[in-house]
Chain A
């Protein structure tokens, strides 16, 4: 199987993630789209690792997953704190930093 197919699939998934961040106004959906983009990048990394026969791509994917887990924990805590404060998850209505 050609590497090009895996990279194209990765590009399509990344673009769907970008569209999710730009189009949706719900903070949780935006988070899910960011996770989707991380997964797309992981897929292309594993594709390259397989194509070059290099184990370092797998190591990088492992670290990306760890950072994604940390990011999800902190991000969802922020979502909870935000919802407690404003009772909405619409990111157009949240202007905590606007002063």
Chain B
């Protein structure tokens, strides 16, 4: 809660009509643009935080601990979005994922009053197959990254990218080109809300 509030204050500038250079997300972007060394440093700091959080989620025994590790992953990914000049997406990430979805998860975990989960340690042939499959997925993805990127078109200049992806431009594209999709997402969220209430009340006797 405290972290969420702090972030809200820091990121409020994205929506407030203040001069842009005075705002934290833009300032971070400008900083990383000015210094590639700093961008590299920040990327590796947040990448390590993300991977450590994900591994902690994978091996934690308590569901509450797993959910809190996921909050760390979400916040670190939001910071990575800021290094990618995606201030709007970063703020939405904190609001929706770290704020709403993870609180919903914690709420349900505490509602269910779970007993301690069994440890991950027992040997099981299904575990071995699962581990091999997971490593195979990683190998495939990394091979794709290594091979496929040779033929990509050249990246535009960073100033161009920043102008393309600032909040006002996202709003214009979202409300003109993708207005119909936006309406459908609204209907989807309404259906999900009603469905969640109906499902949670239902008794499967």
Contacts and interface: CB of A to CB of B under 8 A. Distances in A.
Interface string A67-86: 11111111011111101110
B43 to A, nearest CB: 5
B130 A19 contact: yes
Contacts of B80: 6, 9, 43
B189 A11 contact: no
Contact of B108 (A12, A28, A49): A28
Given A29-B66, A52-B153, A35 B86 contact: no
A18 B133 contact: yes
Contact of A22 (B133, B188, B196): B133
Contact of B66 (A14, A28, A77): A28
A55 B112 contact: no
Interface string B29-57: 00010001001100100010011001101
A89 B108 CA distance: 12
B67 A46 contact: no
Contact of A32 (B70, B86, B120): B70
Contact of B89 (A1, A3, A61): A61
Interface string B167-181: 001100110001001
How many residues of B sit at the interface, in one of the four size bands? 35 or more
Contact of B141 (A11, A23, A53): A11
Contacts of A68: 96-97, 101
Nearest to B163: A53
A89 to B, nearest CB: 6
Interface in B136-179: 137-138, 141-142, 144-146, 149, 152-153, 155-156, 160-161, 164-165, 169-170, 173-174, 178
B101 A35 contact: yes
B165 A73 contact: no
B114 interface: yes
B137 A52 contact: no
B84 A77 contact: no
A62 B174 contact: yes
Contact of B173 (A13, A55, A70, A74): A55
Interface of A: 1, 3-9, 11-20, 22-26, 28-29, 31-33, 35-36, 39, 42-43, 46-47, 49-56, 58-59, 61-63, 65-74, 76-81, 83-85, 89, 96
Given A14-B138, A16-B55, A69-B100, 5 more contacts: A18-B137, A19-B131, A54-B164, A78-B199, A81-B203
Query: 10 smallest A-B Cβ distances: which pairs?
Result: A22-B130, A70-B192, A11-B141, A15-B138, A19-B134, A53-B161, A53-B156, A77-B199, A77-B196, A77-B200
15 contacts: A3-B152, A3-B155, A6-B80, A9-B51, A14-B137, A16-B134, A22-B130, A50-B84, A61-B86, A62-B89, A62-B92, A70-B191, A70-B192, A81-B199, A83-B112
